Amino acid sequence: MSIDVRDVNKRFGNFKALDHVSLEVQTGELLALLGPSGSGKTTLLRVIAGLETLDSGQVLFHGEDATDRHVRERQVGFVFQHYALFRHMTIFENVAFGLRVRPRQDRPSDSEIKRKVMELLSLVQLDWLADRYPHQLSGGQRQRIALARALAVEPRVLLLDEPFGALDAKVRKELRRWLRRLHDEMHITTVFVTHDQDEALEVSDRVVVMNEGSVQQIGTPQEVYDNPANAFVYQFLGNVNLFHGRVQKGRARFGPLELATPEHSHPMESPAVAFARPHDIELVRPAADTAGIPARVEHLLAVGSTVRVDLLTDDDTPIHVELSRDAHARLALVAGEQVLVRPRNVRVFAH
Amino acid sequence: MSAAAIPLPVAPASSPARSVRDATHESPWVRWTLIGIALAFLTLFLFVPLAAVFYEALRKGVDVYLAAVIEEDALAAIRLTLLTAAIAVPLNLVFGVAAAWAIAKFEFRGKNLLVTLIDLPFSVSPVVSGLIYVLVFGLQGWFGETLRDHDLKVIFAVPGIVLATVFVTFPFVARELIPLMEAQGKDEEEAAVVLGASGWQVFWRVTLPNVKWGLLYGVILCNARAMGEFGAVSVVSGHIRGATNTMPLHVEILYNEYQFTAAFAVASLLALLALVTLALKTWVERRFEQDRAAD
Closest residue in B to A85 (Cα) is B188
Measured between CA atoms, the residue of chain B closest to residue A76 is B194
Subunit contact A87:B190, Cβ cutoff 8 A: no
Q: What's the pLDDT tens digit per position in A49-101?
A: 999 988 999 999 988 888 888 888 888 999 998 889 999 999 999 999 999 99
Rounded to the nearest angstrom, the minimum Cα separation between A84 and chain B is: 5
Taking CB atoms and an 8 Å cutoff, what residues of chain A touch B201? Answer: 101
**What does the pLDDT read at residue B14?**
47
Element (DSSP H or E) covering residue A279:
none
Provide the pLDDT for residue B1: 38
Span A326-336, average pLDDT? 85
Q: What's the pLDDT score for residue A78?
A: 94
Which residues of chain B have a CB within 8 Å of the CB of A97?
A: 192, 195, 197, 205
Complex ipTM, two decimals?
Answer: 0.82
Residue A95 has what pLDDT?
95
Verify whether the Cβ–Cβ distance A72 to B209 is below 8 Å.
no
Query: Inter-axis angle of helices B260-294 and B247-256, to 10 degrees?
Result: 150
User: Mean pLDDT across chain A, nearest whole number?
Assistant: 89
Q: CB–CB of A97 and B294 under 8 A?
A: no
Q: Which residues of B touch A (CB under 8 A)?
A: 187-188, 190-198, 201, 205-206, 209-210, 291, 294-295
Q: Beta strand A157-161 with A76-79: parallel, antiparallel or unpaired?
A: parallel
Cβ–Cβ gap A84/B295 under 8 Å = no
pLDDT at residue B34, rounded to an integer: 92
With an 8 Å Cβ cutoff, are A101 and B195 in contact? yes
Any residues with CB less than 8 A from the CB of A138 and at least 6 apart, and which?
A171
Exposed (0-12), middle (13-18) or buried (19+): which is A255, by Cβ within 10 Å? middle
Closest-CA residue of chain B to A160: B191
3-class secondary-structure state, position A37: coil
Classify A264 as helix, strand or coil: coil
| Residue of chain B nearest A49, judged by CA positions | B194
A/B interface, count of CB pairs below 8 Å: 63
Of A71, A82, A85, which has the smallest distance from its Cβ to B194's Cβ?
A71
Which of A85, A87, A159 is the best substitution to test chain B (most B C-beta atoms within 10 A)? A87
Nearest chain B CA: its distance from A204 CA (Å):
24
Does residue A217 sit in helix, strand or coil?
A: strand
Percentage of residues in chain A with pLDDT exceeding 90?
A: 41
pLDDT in tens, chain B (295 residues): 344 444 444 444 444 445 455 667 778 888 899 999 999 999 998 889 889 888 888 888 888 888 888 888 888 889 999 999 999 999 999 999 999 998 988 888 888 898 898 888 888 888 888 888 888 887 777 877 777 788 777 778 888 889 899 999 989 999 999 999 998 888 999 999 999 999 899 999 999 999 988 898 899 899 989 998 888 888 888 777 777 888 898 888 888 888 888 888 888 998 888 888 889 888 888 887 777 666 5
Which residues in chain A touch residue B209, judged by CB atoms under 8 angstroms apart? 88
CA B193 to chain A, closest CA, distance in angstroms equals 6
Q: What is the predicted pLDDT for the residue at B294? A: 63
Average of per-residue pLDDT across A282-300: 85
Question: Could you give the CA distance from residue B148 to residue B108 in angstroms, rounded to a whole number?
Answer: 40
Of A129, A216, A144, the residue nearest A178 (C-alpha): A144
Instruction: Look at residue B11 in the predicted model and tell me its pLDDT.
Output: 44
What does the alpha-carbon distance between residue A96 and residue A92 come to, in Å, rounded to a whole number? 6
DSSP string, A303-338: ETTEEEEEEEETT--EEEEEEEHHHHHHH---TT-E
Strands (E), A170-317: 189-194, 206-211, 214-219, 241-248, 251-254, 257-260, 270-276, 281-284, 293-303, 306-313
Task: Find the CB nearest A72 among B187, B191, B196.
Answer: B196
pLDDT at A247: 84
Average pLDDT over residues A119-142: 91
- The number of residues in chain B equals 295
Compare A166 and B253 and report the one with higher pLDDT: B253
Report pLDDT for B4. Answer: 42
At residue A84's C-alpha, the angle toward residues A81 and A87, to 5°, is 145
Lowest mean pLDDT: which of A167-176, A333-342, B137-146, B154-163?
A: B137-146
Please list the helix, strand and coil fractions of chain A in percent, rounded to the nearest 5, in that order.
Answer: 30, 35, 35
